[in-house]
A = this chain, B = another copy of it.
Amino acid sequence: MRIVVDVMGGDQGCGVVVDGVKLALQSYPDISELHLVGRQPEIEAALRRARCRDPRLQLHHASEVVVMEDKPIEAVRKKKDCSMVRAVELVRDGKAEAVISPGNTGALVAAATLRLRRLESVERAPLAAIMPSAKGEFLLIDVGANPECKPIHLVQFALMGSIYSRELLHHRKPRVGLLSNGTEETKGNELTRETARLLRQTHLNFIGYVEGYDLFADRVEIVVTDGFTGNIVLKSTESLSKTILRAVRRELAANPMRQLGAALARGAFQKIKRRLDPDAYGGAPLLGLNGVVIKAHGGAREKAIMNAIRVATETIQNKINETIVREVAQATPNLGLAKTAVHAPASAVA
């Protein structure tokens, strides 16, 4: 397997990414080539510091870097020689099967969507986030790649999410929920009502509408929504987690007795912090494209980079993209047929 890593653009700098690459090379012998893209002198210095010499490594110089402040599409268009675009292009040109980047999410989505073709029959490429729930995790899809969606897009997100959940997260029959403002069928909007109607015609384990209360309660493995709503949910819950953890830290430091208490109960906080840590899941896959694209967290440390590389190898090994092509091609015409045949008015949707 051949993997590309965009080593620039993460919050932690190039060194941390290179350290993660070293860990991955040690852990995954199935990797045959690992391409690093970025400013060559910085990469070489980081490799020296990490004492990482591996014949599978190949360096590619790129003079520019997309930073977090860059406007996505503008950055991809103007920064022609940036590491992110160059990394994606290695996949486009058949030099590698997967690309990983901890850089600007919007720019990675733009770069991958513009440079890689979509898989056959796939109409939109969604970004999926793996979110921790009370006891397990769930896939939220789309978290921002497609702010304006049609019902067929959401149905395809459900299909792709189910495949990912089944093959990589080992849920045998993952439950698919459609995010709405309440679980009753009378809830939702035009988009969700038609999507629900279509989802009922698929082979998916569709459980109907789910609402905000269901997300962290282990009632659903795949939560489908448009990229506008998904992005808001992703960011607001991530920001709330951080706000609560910060408040806990501040309150525990407020006086010596609390500090002692906090020291005794340290294990508890570490465990919770680990559970809420986006690093644990190794990144968010951008599904439906010709090539495996993984967005590592901006603040990803070495283990998170290693995990993202592991997820990339598993995605290749499990032939996720071939399965997506097959299942989307099977499901989509059936929907069209049913839609024409049934002529169900909106109010008749059961």
User: What residues of chain A have their CB less than 8 Å away from a CB belonging to chain B?
Assistant: 71, 73, 106, 133-134, 144, 147-148, 179-182, 184, 186-190, 211-217, 227-229, 231-241, 243-244, 246-248, 251-252, 254, 257-258, 260-269, 271-272, 275-276
Copies of this chain assembled into the complex: 2
Assuming the A-B contacts A134-B247, A186-B71, A265-B265, are A234 and B258 also in contact, with contact meaning beta carbons closer than 8 angstroms in the complex? no
CB A171 to nearest CB in B, in angstroms, measures 19
A276 touches B244 (CB 8 A): yes
* A228 pairs with B189, CB closer than 8 A: yes
Find chain B residues with CB under 8 A from A252 CB: 265, 268
Q: How far, in whole Å, are A271 and B237 apart by their CA atoms in the complex?
A: 21
| Minimal Cβ-Cβ distance residue in B for A217 | B239
Known: A181-B147, A184-B71, A272-B247. A238 touches B261 (CB 8 A): no
A161 to B279, CA, bound (A): 38
Taking a contact as CB atoms under 8 Å apart, the answer to whether B216 and A239 are in contact is yes
Residue of B nearest to A231 (CB): B181
Q: Contacts A252-B268, A257-B264, A267-B258 given: A182-B240 contact, CB under 8 Å?
A: no
Known: A148-B190, A236-B236, A258-B268. 7 other contacts (CB 8 A): A180-B232, A212-B238, A214-B239, A216-B239, A217-B239, A248-B268, A262-B265
A213 in contact with B235 (CB, 8 Å): yes
Q: Are A229 and B231 in contact (CB under 8 A)?
A: no
Q: List 7 A-B contacts (CB under 8 A).
A: A134-B247, A179-B232, A181-B231, A213-B238, A247-B272, A258-B264, A258-B268
User: With A and B bound together, what is the CA distance between A190 and B149 in angstroms?
Assistant: 12
Q: Which one of B73, B181, B232 lies within 8 Å of A181 (CB-CB)?
A: B232
Residues on B with C-beta less than 8 A from A241 are 240, 244
Task: Check A248/B272 contact, CB under 8 A, given A227-B181, A265-B257.
Answer: yes
Q: A188 contacts which chain B residues (CB < 8 A)?
A: 147, 228
Please provide the 10 A-B residue pairs with the shortest distance between their CB atoms, ordered closest to farther: A212-B235, A261-B264, A261-B265, A212-B236, A251-B268, A181-B231, A216-B243, A261-B261, A258-B265, A213-B239
Docked-complex contact B228 and A212, CB < 8 angstroms: no
Residues of B within 8 A of A106 (CB): 182
| A55→B64 CA distance, assembly (Å) | 77
Complex Cα–Cα for A252 and B252 (A): 14
On chain B, the residues within 8 Å of A134 by CB distance are 243, 246-247
Give chain B nearest CB distance to A142 CB in angstroms: 10
Chain B residues, CB < 8 A from A261: 260-266, 268
Inside 8 A of A262's CB, which chain B residues have their CB? 261, 265, 268
Q: Point out the residues of chain B lying under 8 angstroms from A180, CB to CB.
A: 228, 232
Chain B residues, CB < 8 A from A268:
248, 251-252, 254, 258, 261-262
> Are B229 and A232 neighbours in the complex by a CB distance under 8 Å?
yes
A276 CA to B244 CA, complexed, in Å: 9
Q: In the assembly, what is the distance between CA of A250 and CA of B190, in Å?
A: 41
Cβ of A212: which chain B residues have Cβ within 8 Å of it? 231-239
In the bound complex, how far is the Cα of B158 from the Cα of A24, in angstroms?
Answer: 50
- Are B260 and A272 closer than 8 Å at their CB atoms? no
Give A133 to B231 CA distance when docked, in angstroms. Answer: 19
